[in-house]
C-alpha cells in the first residue's frame, strides 16, 4: 500500500501526525454506495516515469473506493491497459467493474462510452469526471492548437459527458468534477490547464441548475498537492515544484481525494450542490511559512 512521500524542503514537524487509515486506503469498507452504478472517467492512471514504487492515481483510487463501498463501476480511460488494470484490481477484491475505452477528445467516443456504461451497468446514478492534461509552460509558448487540445480534454469533454449522461441519470444521482487548486491560484505555470480547471466551476453550476429539477447534484472537488504519477512526473520536469512548503509536511494521497469524492457522490452529501470543495490541507487558504 502506498504511503505518503517523505517531507521535502521546509516542512511542518512530523508529517505522520496527520496520517490515518483513510489516508492510506486501509480503512474498513462500508456500504456508502450500495446499489449505485458509477462511471469514473479517467479511472486508469498515467504511467510513472520515475523510480518505483509508483503512487496511486486519483482516478484509480476513486474507482477502487467506490467499488469497496458497494458500487458497480465503469472504468473509462483512453489507455485500455490502464482501464483494465483498475478493473482487475476491483474484481480481484470482490467488486464488480468493467472497462470502457474512449478518447474524450473525440465527441463520438464520449457518446458511445456513456451509452456503453449505462447499458452494461443497467443504468447510471454516479458520475466522476477526472480528466486533465497540461500543455506548454507560460503564455509565450502557447499555440492555438495546444490551447484548443487542452480545453477539448479538460473542459469540453466534461461538458459532453454531462450532456450525454444527465438525461439518463436516476433521481438521487451525483456528479463530481475533479478540478485543481490551480483553478484558484496560478501554480502549474500552464495557463491552458489553470484556465480550463477554473472553468469547471462555471460548468458545474450550470449542470447543477439543470440537474436540480431531475434530482441530480453536481459539485467540484479541487485537490491540492497530491502524490500521484501525474504529480511526480510534473516534479521530474519542474524540480521547483518539489521544493514547495507542504501542509502537514506532506503531499496528500489519492485516497484522500477518493474519500472526498465518495462523500460528494454519497447521500451523505444530499444537500451539498453546486459547490467547489477544496482538498489541499489548507494550502490556498493559509500562508505557509
What stretch of H or E contains 82?
Answer: helix 80-92
- One-character DSSP codes across 230-254: HHHHHHHH-GGGGGS--GGGS-EEH
Candidates 97, 102, 187, 193; catalytic one: 193
Largest CA distance in the chain: 52
Is residue 72 helix, strand or coil? strand
Contact status, residue 162 vs residue 200, Cβ threshold 8 Å: no
Buried b (16+ CB within 10 A) or exposed e, 219-239: bbbbbbbbbbbbbbbbbeeee
Task: For residue 193, indicate whether it is catalytic.
Answer: yes
The three cell numbers of residue 1 are 500500500
Is residue 76 helix, strand or coil? strand
The three cell numbers of residue 169 are 441519470
d(CA 289, CA 286): 9
Residues with catalytic annotation?
193
Amino acid at each position: 500500500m502506498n504511503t505518503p512521500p517523505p517531507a521535502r524542503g521546509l516542512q511542518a514537524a512530523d508529517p505522520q501526525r496527520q496520517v490515518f487509515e483513510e489516508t492510506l486506503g486501509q480503512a474498513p469498507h462500508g456500504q456508502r454506495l450500495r446499489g449505485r452504478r458509477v462511471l469514473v472517467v479517467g479511472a486508469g492512471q498515467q504511467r510513472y516515469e520515475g523510480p518505483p514504487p509508483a503512487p496511486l492515481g486519483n482516478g484509480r483510487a476513486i474507482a477502487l473506493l467506490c467499488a469497496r463501498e458497494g458500487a458497480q463501476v465503469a472504468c473509462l480511460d483512453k489507455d485500455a491497459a490502464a482501464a483494465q488494470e483498475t478493473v482487475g484490481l476491483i474484481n480481484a477484491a470482490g467488486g464488480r467493474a468493467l472497462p470502457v475505452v474512449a478518447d474524450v477528445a473525440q465527441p463520438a467516443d464520449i457518446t458511445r462510452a456513456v451509452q456503453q456504461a449505462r447499458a452494461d451497468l443497467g443504468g447510471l446514478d454516479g458520475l466522476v469526471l477526472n480528466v486533465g492534461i497540461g500543455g506548454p509552460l507560460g503564455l509565450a509558448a502557447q499555440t492555438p492548437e495546444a490551447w484548443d487540445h487542452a480545453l477539448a480534454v479538460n473542459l469540453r469533454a466534461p461538458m459532453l459527458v454531462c450532456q450525454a449522461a444527465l438525461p439518463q441519470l436516476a433521481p438521487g444521482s451525483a456528479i463530481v468534477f475533479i478540478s485543481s487548486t490551480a483553478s484558484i491560484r496560478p501554480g502549474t505555470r500552464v495557463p491552458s490547464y489553470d484556465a480550463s480547471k477554473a472553468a469547471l466551476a462555471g460548468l458545474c453550476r450550470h449542470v447543477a441548475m439543470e440537474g436540480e429539477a431531475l434530482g441530480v447534484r453536481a459539485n467540484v472537488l479541487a485537490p491540492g498537492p497530491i502524490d500521484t504519477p501525474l504529480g511526480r512526473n510534473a516534479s521530474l520536469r519542474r524540480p521547483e515544484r518539489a521544493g514547495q512548503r507542504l501542509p502537514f509536511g506532506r503531499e496528500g494521497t489519492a485516497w484522500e481525494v477518493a474519500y472526498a469524492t465518495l462523500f460528494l457522490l454519497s447521500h451523505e452529501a444530499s444537500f451539498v450542490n453546486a459547490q467547489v470543495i477544496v482538498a489541499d490541507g489548507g494550502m490556498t487558504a493559509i500562508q505557509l511559512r
